[in-house]
Chain A
Amino acid sequence: MDLIIPSSGLIFWQLIGFLALFFILVKFAWKPMLAALEEREGSIDNALKAAEQARNEMANLKAENEKLLAEARVERDTILTKAQEASKRMIEEAKEEATKQGAILIENAKAVIENEKKAALAEVKNQVAVLTLEVTEKLLRKNLSDQAAQKELVDEFVKDLKLN
């Protein structure tokens, strides 16, 4: 048996042995093994992808939520502002109205007072006139108690009537 010259017998057996090993392993080991490996890698890949997708979806959802929230916030703010404005305006209007109404009331009151005053004055005038008449009557009664004075007065009236 030489060291550096291949012996034909060993080549023969080695060829048979190795090829047998190869074909047995291909059929019963490598094929199922590599297929299983590939399948597992595929499933891991898919799982990773699914996780990634889920994460993206979550992120999208979150972003959408936030967007909605922001929109809601903006809307709330507008509503609030509008409400504030409206209330302010209403207060203003009410104030104005009140002022106007007050002015009218005062005006009316003034008119009424004026009228009342006028009426009172008229009344006073009337009373004065009546009183004056009464006083005059009393005075006249006193003055015309004697016959001569009465005669003179009647004369005077008659004179006046004639003139009229």
Chain B
Amino acid sequence: MKSAVIVFPGSNCDRDAHDAIERVTGHAPAMVWHQESELPDGTEFVMVPGGFSYGDYLRCGAMASRSAIIPALRAHAERGAPILGVCNGFQVLTETGLLPGALMRNAGLTFICEKAPLTIENGNTQFTSAYGGQREVVFPIAHHDGNYFADAATLDRLEGEGQVVFRYANNPNGSARDIAGITNARGTIMGMMPHPERAVDADHGGTDGLGVFESLLGSA
């Protein structure tokens, strides 16, 4: 699978994303600088990594969503090719409008870093199919603005269409309906606050995150 990771100034999980993708797919992803206007030819999967793009100034993900690379990301999305946004990447995807809703400041107002137990609400997406019957996973979270918000109608639609993919077992940040990760209506784009790429190694954070990348590889 040919992958790419977009790098903004202030991205800091780009290396983690790179290594996780390489570990699972056997191929190192292209690291695409935000000022590029094209993804490398033949890119099948794009990951928008975590971090603090543009220092989280103005609003998390807001400035990154206006970067030069974003039109190429939109084109990739329109083709129905998979995109995964994690943490700040999720914030960037909501700011671009590729995913519905917004991420607000955590309900407790402090940054939270912990291992978050999650339930897989939809195991039939191209991001979760490899989990088989497994319903429970633990991914690390590390964010200040992970409190997912959308209006009631949007939330109902997300639930009704199976777009809620991950839910927190113990809601850490006040997210509406315990939502930790969602897809777009076509199921081709997933955004999530927890970090699957930090859970691909028994020596660091466990291996529960492997399934996300294995699912993508399986459906590619």
**Do the two shown chains form a genuine complex with each other?**
no
What residues make up the interface of B, taking CB atoms closer than 8 Å to A? none
Footprint of B on A, CB under 8 Å? Answer: none
